[in-house]
Amino acid sequence: MPAYVEYTSGSLWLRLYTPMDGDVVTQPVIDVIGQSPAETVISLNESIFLVGDEGSFSIPVTLDEGPNVIELIASNMDSDEIELVLTIMYEKE
């Protein structure tokens, strides 16, 4: 199992596998990969996704050259919320 950072709020939990805050990448599109309970609503920058029954998500994000801020908000029906702000550096090879 790959390394992850786990966040919790009330009954809500979120495991983030990639990316990690401060990562430097050389490709223009990365996947935000994690796990959360089914039916968790994931808001990623301007897009909204619903976690399926399997409890995992993989959301592609297109990066601009230089620093990119990714805002991820996970929420559930109990109004529990986890908010993450990640800064990812995209450097062209």
Dump pLDDT digits (tens) for 27-48: 999 999 999 999 999 999 989 9
Q: For the domain 5-90, what is the CATH code? A: 2.60.40.10
35 in Cβ contact with 14 (< 8 Å) = yes
**8 vs 81: CA distance, rounded Å:** 9
The parts of the chain modelled with pLDDT lower than 70 are 1-2
**Can you give the pLDDT at residue 1?**
44
What's the mean pLDDT when you consider all of the chain? 95
Question: How far, in Å, are 16, 57, 80 from residue 60 at the CA level?
Answer: 14, 10, 24
Instruction: Say what the pTM is.
Output: 0.92
